[in-house]
Amino acid sequence: MYRGDRICTDDCEVFYSRLQEQLRGLLAEETDWTANLANAAALLFYQLEDVNWLGFYLLRDGELVLGPFQGKPACTRIAVGEGVCGAAVEEGESQVVSDVHEFPGHIACDEDSRSELVIPMYLEGEILGVLDIDSPELERFDEQDERAMRELAEMIVHSSQ
């Protein structure tokens, strides 16, 4: 269904712009939120290097509830303010965590995780949930990854309306 490079070595701009095109194609014919989150989780998980868990937590009645994901089974509910995902919602900002063991209150769903990127997903100023990406490598994510994933998360939300 999709083809493409899995690695972002010397030219991450090219890698991320291809990934954006792949995701755009995958979401083009569908507006169902669950279907799009599920396919986005699968595409991103299989295309990104050094990622052991990738998925969505969705805000339901003031609490984050596990949504579509790829990786080991994970905790189903996270309170706002709890862990990296809860911090992203409380602060309304992405969290780039280079070492999860240094993050107070980090929730270790998969003990392989060493670094993490969490992106809040917005629609018209309201947070719908987060995109959560875990890596077994320390310092896996930087600002370029954060910016690229924020753009992809926006695409997922807007393609699902």
Contacts to ligand SME by CB under 6 A: 53, 74-75, 78, 83-85, 106-107, 109, 113, 116, 132, 134
We find the least distance from the C-beta atom of residue 8 to ligand SME, in angstroms, to be 21
Name the packing angle between helices 12-27 and 33-47 (round to 10°): 150
CB 138 within 8 A of CB 98: yes
* Residue closest to ligand SME (Cβ): 83
We find the least distance from the C-beta atom of residue 21 to ligand SME, in angstroms, to be 27
Nearer to ligand SME by Cβ, of 36 and 113: the residue is: 113
3-state SS, residue 56: strand
Residues 6+ away with beta carbon under 8 Å from 60: none
Nearer to ligand SME by Cβ, of 8 and 51: the residue is: 51
Cα 153 from Cα 158, distance rounded (Å)? 9
We find the least distance from the C-beta atom of residue 42 to ligand SME, in angstroms, to be 16
